[in-house]
Structure 1
Amino acid sequence: MFPIRDHNPSGRTPYVTYLLMAVNIGVFLSYVSLMSDDRAIGMFFFNWALLPERVTTGGGYTGIFTSMFLHGGWMHLAGNMLFLYIFGDNIEDEMGHLGYLAFYLACGVLSAAAHVISAPYSGVPTVGASGAIAGVMGGYLLLYPKAKVDILIIFIVFFRILPIPAWIMLGLWLGMQFIGSVGTDPETGGVAYWAHTGGFIVGMILTVPIWLRLGGPRFWSQTHGRPPHPDATYPTVRSRIPKVRRK
């Protein structure tokens, strides 16, 4: 189950979201050739990824920033860019281009700090834009909890697109990150769950001033948690597979 689009159109072109996607993709393409050489990619990540043990001993601070533009593989990159594409445009619409850029970078840095606090002696390189994007998702949940999000459900041979409220999809995602945070040892590597959880919470907190400017609880009452504009509509595509009637 993963999201493919939302029904929440933005009022302006999300230039910063597109720029962030382009930078992430461009940076990945610049070093993807190293992925076939374990020593080369290991040295690259040692220099540019986030290593908590280096930060706690007084070094490696650049990794807090640079790590949010690195990814560990094609699927890692694709998943993050999909989430950024779906949820980033609406946050940029509300915050403005420069405000959104500052918000995104702040979420990325603070989510990295959350990971360092959770695993201060880990020597495992950490990469990915997930923490910053989790902040975008946290802000989206605060502003548009009932916006419709289309999710693709895949169960063996069953495929279906189902629209659900954003609070269900994002709430499930956050719950999975929190369970992972308390159920795994962050020192051993794997998914940086605390970076995701921390980024999400930071994103919600940093979005509170926007929410209050819009009216706070009154904004929710007026919109009923939905976007304050008509939903986006998508054309229905009929299946060309013929139906077989039962006798």
Structure 2
Amino acid sequence: MFPIRDHNPSGRTPYVTYFLMAANIGIFLSYFGIMEDARQINAFWLDWALIPARLDDGQGSYTLVSSMFLHGGWWHLAGNMLFLYIFGDNIEDEMGPLGYGLFYLAAGVAAGWTQYFSAPLSTVPTVGASGAIAGVMGAYLLLYPKAKVDILIIFIVFFRIFPIPAWIILAVWFAMQFAGGVGSDPDAGGVAYWAHAGGFVAGLILAIPVWLKRGGPGYWQRTEGHPPHPEAHYKLAASRIPKISRRRRGPWN
């Protein structure tokens, strides 16, 4: 189950969101060739990934930013870019290009610090844009809790697209990150749950001034949690497969 689009069109071209996507993809491609070489990729992570133990020694503060533009594989990159594409344009629309860019970096740095405080002596490298993107999702939850988000559910050979309110998928996602953080060992590697949770909370808090500028609780009352503009409507394209008549045929046909 994962989101594929929302029904919340933005009023301007999200240039910063596109730039962030291009930067993440371009940087990943720049080192993709060394990922099969353990010595080279480990040296690369040592220089640019967020390693809590280095921060604890007062070193590598720049990795709070550099690490959010690195990814551990194609699926890691694709998942993050999908979420950024779905939710980023609307937050950029609300904050403006400069404000959104600063917000994104601030949420990512907050996510990095959260991961550090969860295990300050850990030597496990942390990479990924998911902490910053979690911040975008937190802001989206505050501003558009009832915006429709289409999710694709795949069950073996069955798949369906369902529109659900944004607050459901975002709240469930945050709950999964929090539960994952409580039940995991940060020193063992794997998903950086606390970075996700910290980025989400930071993004929600950083978006409060925008929410208050729009009227705070009054904004929610006016929009009932929906976007303040008409929502987009989608319909699946008609199948190109011709229909076959089911008329009963005799045994001689």
Number of matched pairs: 247
How large is the Cα RMSD of the aligned pairs? 1.4
Q: Which residue of 2 aligns with 1:3?
A: 3
Partner residue of 2:70? 70
- Measured in 1, the distance between the counterparts of 2:72 and 2:124 equals 13
**Which residue does the alignment assign to 1:232?**
232
Paired residue for 2:159? Answer: 159
Aligned to 1:220: 220
Aligned to 1:127: 127
Aligned twin of 1:137: 137
Change over 3 Å in CA distance of 1:104–1:163 after alignment to 2: same
> TM-score, normalised on structure 2?
0.95
**Runs of 5+ unmatched residues, structure 1:** none
For 2:128, the aligned partner's letter is G
Aligned pairs for 1:106-125 within 5 A: 106-125=106-125
Tell me the CA shift for residue 244 of structure 1.
8.2
CA deviations over 1:172-194 (Å, ceiling 9, x no partner)? 11111011010111121111000
Q: Which residue of 1 aligns with 2:197?
A: 197
Partner of 2:103: 103
Specify every segment of 5 or more residues in structure 2 that has no aligned partner in the other structure, as ranges.
249-253
Distance 1:62 1:219, change over 3 A: same
Percentage of matched positions with identical amino acids: 68
Could you tell me the TM-score, scaled by structure 1's length? 0.97
User: Separation in 1 of the partners of 2:247 and 2:156?
Assistant: 24
**In the superposition, relative to structure 1, how do residues 108 and 245 fare at CA in structure 2: closer, same or farther (>3 Å)?**
farther
| Matches of 1:57 and 1:218, distance apart in 2 | 47
> How far apart in 1 are the matches of 2:76 and 2:138?
20
Aligned to 1:93: 93
1:210 equivalenced with 2:232 (yes/no)? no
**Inter-partner Cα distance in structure 2 for 1:193 and 1:138:** 15
Structure 1's consecutive aligned runs of 4 or more residues displaced over 3 angstroms after TM superposition are: 240-247
Paired letter, 2:20: L
CA distance in 1, matches of 2:14, 2:163: 23
Q: Which has the larger radius of gyration?
A: 2
Query: What SS does structure 2 have at the residue aligned with 1:96?
Result: helix
> Where does residue 15 of structure 1 map in the other structure?
15
